[in-house]
């Protein structure tokens, strides 16, 4: 069980208890213990989540809906209970607001293809930001090309914050949709969404929040945010790959056409056409990732037992510790806010004169897993003026020891390239 009491002055020992829950942390990489700091790409899974998958296949596996036999009833209950649990986790009023998808990317594409294609026309504007992940850019470019809508990008300041004034200046009565990330997957920047959403609403725009990094790192409450859409991925919050979530306000979901057709989303099929089921099932054509949904519920249980406020505090303390250590390290340039109050669990930096891929490779030689590259944020890279950066990102099982091994690895990088 995860440690339950990680208050803001959380000590390494307390949350350390979590490490034992993650079997992969026993692995050695090139003769060194694994120091996994690539959590913004995907997190590791606790034993309980892995067991939830095994349990599903060893005891309950069946297709969902439409069958009366015991296994199918059990599989359906696991799947639909997962929907309800996810709804509670993000403060959604009902399980009917939750569509299961493959991940954040598919969730955003669903909104682009169903909602946006139906609502946007030439003259309309979509507001994004330069810090968006490609998954929150390319779907809008595709829909913009089809509909003739235009895209405006809110600037990122040199400190790595969203330029709040520039954002406001982009909003106008033609703005139909605003799509923003909760937390930058490169800089860790947390955007002041409540405020921005209400500003967008004042102009009649609909708001999608990309929660891929935010939902795993902080309490996220859709009722408080009041966003129309929230997209996030299971695999970045201790759950398996292949399962993700689109939250949408119920009346909006009810107005949307399905994007994929097939089994499980119709009530009636005639030669000439078909009648859709109600949401959310209308949007889940075909056999879904049932085991993935069941295991996502277990991941939510795991995070809830720790407490998302505690997760947030813990990542803030690690971020502070790491920022201080990186500041001490010679020849390291850190990007982004460098302030754990508005930066959540993700740090971008470079070793001067060393290409991020070379640095990441040398870190890997001592078991430190970080990612180097553009992190699916080429617009942000251009704004930062670099082709690529190194990124260290935390999750619940990381501790100060991981940060120390990172710093040790960076000393090694400097020695190799001295």
Ligand X SMILES: Cc1ncc(COP(=O)(O)O)c(C=O)c1O
Site for ligand X in 135-194 (CB under 6 A): 135-136, 181, 185
Residue with tokens 């499980």: 264
Minimal distance in Å, beta carbon 378 to another protein?
8
Q: Is 271 in the site for a second copy (CB under 8 A)?
A: yes
Considering the rule CB under 8 A, would residue 62 count as an interface residue with a second copy? Answer: yes
Q: How far is the CB of 191 from another protein (least distance, A)?
A: 26
Contacts of 251 (CB under 8 A, 6+ apart): none
Q: Report residue 70 CA to chain centroid gap.
A: 35
Closest CA to 283 of 58, 130, 83: 83
Q: Which residues ranging from 33 to 72 are in contact with another protein (CB under 8 A)? A: 65-68, 72
* Number of other CB atoms surrounding residue 50 within 10 Å: 18
The yes or no reply on residue 212 touching ligand X (CB under 6 A) is yes
CA distance 65 to 167: 45
- As a residue count, the chain comes to 418
Residue 377: active-site member: no
289 interface partner picked from ligand X, a second copy, another protein, none, CB below 5 to 8 A per type: a second copy
Min. distance of Cβ 216 from ligand X in angstroms?
10
Nearer to ligand X, 105 or 124 (CB): 105
Nearest to 292 by CA among 247, 212, 233, 248: 233
Integer-rounded Cα radius of gyration of the chain: 22
Q: Based on the shown chain and the rule CB under 8 A, indicate whether residue 288 belongs to the binding site for a second copy.
A: yes
CB of 233 to ligand X, least distance (A): 3
Q: Which of residues 263-282 bind another protein (CB under 8 A)?
A: 267-268, 275
Find the binding residues for another protein in span 389-418 (CB under 8 A): 412, 415-417
Torsion angles phi and psi, residue 219, rounded to 5:
-65, 130
Q: Contact 22/45 with Cβ under 8 angstroms?
A: yes
Residues 6+ away with beta carbon under 8 Å from 238:
43, 44, 45, 46, 49, 216, 299, 302, 303, 395, 396
Residue with tokens 């809508």: 149
Query: How far is 41 from 288, CA to CA, in rounded Å?
Result: 23
Which structure tokens are listed for 186?
Answer: 């490169």
CB of 16 to ligand X, least distance (A): 26
Please identify which residue in 35, 44, 104, 191 interacts with ligand X, judged by CB under 6 A. Answer: 104
Task: Please identify which residue in 376, 396, 403, 413 interacts with a second copy, judged by CB under 8 A.
Answer: 376
Q: Which of 159, 355, 404, 408 binds another protein (CB under 8 A)?
A: 355
Interface positions with ligand X (CB under 6 A): 40, 103-105, 133, 135-136, 181, 185, 210, 212-213, 233, 235, 244, 263, 286-287, 376
Interface positions with another protein (CB under 8 A): 30-31, 65-68, 72-73, 76-77, 267-268, 275, 354-355, 357-358, 361-362, 365-366, 373-374, 381, 387-388, 412, 415-417
The catalytic site residues sit at 376
């Amino acid at each position: 069980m995860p440690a339950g009491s990680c208050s803001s002055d959380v000590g390494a020992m307390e949350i350390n208890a979590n490490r034992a829950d993650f079997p992969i942390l026993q692995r050695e990489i090139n003769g060194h213990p694994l120091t996994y700091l690539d959590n913004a790409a995907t997190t590791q899974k606790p034993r309980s989540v892995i067991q939830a998958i095994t349990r599903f296949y060893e005891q309950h596996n069946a297709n969902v809906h439409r069958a009366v036999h015991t296994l199918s009833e059990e599989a359906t209950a696991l799947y639909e209970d997962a929907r309800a649990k996810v709804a509670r986790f993000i403060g959604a009023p009902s399980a009917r607001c939750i569509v299961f998808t493959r991940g954040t990317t598919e969730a955003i594409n669903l909104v682009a293809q169903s909602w946006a294609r139906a609502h946007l026309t030439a003259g309309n504007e979509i507001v994004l930001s330069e810090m968006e992940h490609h998954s929150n850019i390319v779907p809008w470019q595709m829909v913009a090309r089809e509909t003739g809508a235009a895209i405006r990008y809110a600037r990122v300041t040199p400190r790595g914050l969203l330029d709040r004034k520039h954002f406001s200046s982009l909003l106008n009565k033609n703005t139909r949709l605003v799509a923003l990330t909760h937390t930058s997957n490169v800089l860790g920047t947390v955007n002041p969404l409540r405020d921005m959403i209400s500003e967008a609403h004042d102009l009649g725009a609909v708001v999608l929040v990309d929660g891929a990094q935010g939902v795993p790192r902080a309490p996220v409450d859709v009722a408080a945010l009041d966003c129309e859409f929230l997209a996030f991925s299971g695999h970045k919050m201790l759950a398996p790959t292949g399962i993700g979530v689109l939250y949408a306000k119920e009346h909006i979901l009810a107005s949307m056409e399905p994007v994929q057709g097939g089994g499980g989303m119709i009530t009636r099929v005639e030669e000439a056409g078909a009648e859709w089921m109600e949401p959310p099932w209308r949007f889940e054509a075909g056999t879904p990732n049932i085991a993935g949904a069941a295991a996502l519920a277990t991941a939510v249980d795991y995070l809830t037992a720790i407490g998302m406020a505690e997760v947030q505090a813990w990542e803030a303390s690690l971020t502070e510790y790491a920022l201080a250590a990186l500041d001490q390290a010679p020849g390291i340039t850190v990007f982004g806010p460098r302030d754990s109050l508005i930066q959540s669990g993700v740090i971008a930096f470079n070793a001067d004169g060393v290409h991020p891929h070379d640095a990441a490779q040398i870190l890997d030689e001592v078991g430190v897993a970080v990612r180097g590259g553009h992190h699916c944020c080429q617009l942000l890279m251009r704004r930062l003026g670099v082709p690529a950066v190194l990124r260290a990102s935390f999750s619940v099982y990381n501790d100060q020891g991981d940060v120390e091994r990172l710093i040790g690895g960076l000393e090694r990088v400097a020695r190799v390239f001295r």
